[in-house]
């Protein structure tokens, strides 16, 4: 839902933040129309939600465009961060600045009106996010009623939650009138991610075309870490083999969960994705075709 007029934010980050390590381009060449399906924008003109856990410094549209030039991507999906709760004004403003090459995933609660949902759609929004790790403006109980309301718009539900919570709520994901998109490899713990019961659940939903999974946030659960994230690469490869038509890639820029001295190199992340999906035809499917279908790029 939207509100009128930006509100100044008093707090400032305690330390300057480098949003991406390195300046060299990735070894991976992406195809024309490649889409980064998961990144955020932060701007001090807009106030953080009360009780927001993540309060990073600014990460602007111009800075993200510089990242696009470095990676070679042409389309992008801006995901409303938990920091702003259900105030989607910055999201809509940012989508507009990309001139048709961006889509958005908003955060709303059950108080949202149909008029507000239509306005979000006109502004380029194509899904709603439930960030359940940690819980914030939305709850698991809101998923089904809101999914029913967004179904006529052709949107999807996106969820960020620990694998154990995803598994506990498996009946919810299996019975929605819209697709569900699992953030960040479905947050499966390492090591042994493919042996976790949630892996089988996600793969079953992928096979039924009821779900997508984002090959993003390789650093979140990795026990091996940078620069190769080999354990996350193996998990991403398993998803891509299981259902290449149901997977997406995202940078997760500007990596708001990471400490300033642990910001990953976005070129490394793209190359790690390429290691997981070495076949160029499949990579084009993941980077171009799947996002075009889900986010309604013309």
Work out the mean pLDDT of the chain and round it to a whole number.
Answer: 92
* HEC letters along 177-198: CCCEEECHHHHCCCCCHHHCHH
pTM attached to this predicted model: 0.92
Q: What is the pLDDT of residue 21?
A: 58
Residues 51 and 54: their CA atoms lie apart, in Å, by: 9
pLDDT at 8 over 70: no
Q: How much of the chain exceeds pLDDT 90, in percent?
A: 86
What residues contact residue 294 under an 8 Å CB cut-off, 6+ apart? 126, 156, 179, 181, 212, 248
Could you please state the CATH topology (level 3) that the domain comprising 35-294 is classified under: TIM Barrel (3.20.20)
Six-digit token string for 297: 């790029």
Domain boundaries, the chain: 35-294
pLDDT at 20 over 60: no
Question: Which residues are tagged catalytic?
Answer: 252
pLDDT at 30: 98
Give me 249's structure tokens.
């890639």
User: How confident is the model at residue 9, as a pLDDT?
Assistant: 32
- Average pLDDT of 147-157? 98
Q: Is 160 helix (H, G, I), strand (E, B) or coil?
A: strand
Distance between CA atoms of residues 57 and 26, nearest Å: 25
pLDDT band at 245 (very low <50, low <70, confident <90, very high): very high
Residue 142 has pLDDT above 50, yes or no: yes
Q: What pLDDT digit, counting tens, does each position of 197-214 carry?
A: 999 999 999 999 999 999
26: enclosing H helix or E strand: none
Give the 3-state secondary structure of residue 247: strand
């Amino acid at each position: 839902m939207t509100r009128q007029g930006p509100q100044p934010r008093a707090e400032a980050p305690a330390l300057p933040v480098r949003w991406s390590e390195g300046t060299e381009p990735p070894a991976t060449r992406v195809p024309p129309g490649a889409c980064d399906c998961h990144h955020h924008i932060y701007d001090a003109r807009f106030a953080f939600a009360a009780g927001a856990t993540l309060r990073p410094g600014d990460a602007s549209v111009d800075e993200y465009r510089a990242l696009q030039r470095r990676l070679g991507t042409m389309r992008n999906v801006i995901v409303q961060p938990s920091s702003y709760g259900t105030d989607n004004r910055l999201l809509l403003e940012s989508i507009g600045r990309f001139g048709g090459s961006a889509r958005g995933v908003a955060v709303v609660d059950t108080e949202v009106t149909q008029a507000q949902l239509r306005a979000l759609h006109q502004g380029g929004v194509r899904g709603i996010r439930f960030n359940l790790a940690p819980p914030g403006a939305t709850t698991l109980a809101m998923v089904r009623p809101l999914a029913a309301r967004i179904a006529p718009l052709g949107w999807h539900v996106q969820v960020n939650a620990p694998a154990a919570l995803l598994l506990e709520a498996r009946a919810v994901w299996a019975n929605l009138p819209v697709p569900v998109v699992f953030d960040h490899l479905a947050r499966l713990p390492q090591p042994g991610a493919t042996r976790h019961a949630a892996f089988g659940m996600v793969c079953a939903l992928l096979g039924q075309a009821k779900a997508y999974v984002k090959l993003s946030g390789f650093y979140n659960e990795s026990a091996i870490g940078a620069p190769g994230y080999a354990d996350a690469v193996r998990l991403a490869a398993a998803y891509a083999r299981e259902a290449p038509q149901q997977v997406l890639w995202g940078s997760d820029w500007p990596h708001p969960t990471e400490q300033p001295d642990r910001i990953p190199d976005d070129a490394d992340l793209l190359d790690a994705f390429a290691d997981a999906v070495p076949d160029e035809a499949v990579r084009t499917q993941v980077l171009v075709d799947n996002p075009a279908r889900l986010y309604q790029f013309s």
